[in-house]
Amino acid sequence: MSVSAYILIQTEVGKAAAVAAQIQGLAGVTSAEDVTGPYDVIVRADAENVDELGKLVVANVQSVDGITRTLTCPVVHL
């Protein structure tokens, strides 16, 4: 069963556009948008399972230069 999630990202000042552009090219990322408010970028990602989602976030997303904090919100179907 696949899993989808929104990844909320805080960046260093002035780095949101560069972070979103770099993340957009990662496998599993379906969108990466600059936003205003407490977060600077919101990403939609899909993975085969929760473990693969975790690997995507920790190994790929969090390694992007300029990111200071992430919050991963898995999508649930109630």
- Structure confidence by residue, pLDDT tens digits, 22-59: 999 999 999 999 999 999 999 999 999 999 999 999 99
Burial class (CB in 10 A: 0-12, 13-18, 19+), 20: buried
* Strand partners for 46: 4
- Domain range for 38 is 3-74
Chain centroid to Cα 7, Å, comes to 4
Chain centroid to Cα 13, Å, comes to 17
Query: What total of structural domains would you count in the chain?
Result: 1
Give the CATH number for residue 44.
3.30.70.920
- Ramachandran assignment for 7, one of left (phi > 0), alpha (psi -120 to 50 degrees), beta (any other): beta
Global confidence as pTM = 0.93
**CA 65 to CA 19: how far, in whole Å?**
7
pLDDT band at 74 (very low <50, low <70, confident <90, very high): very high
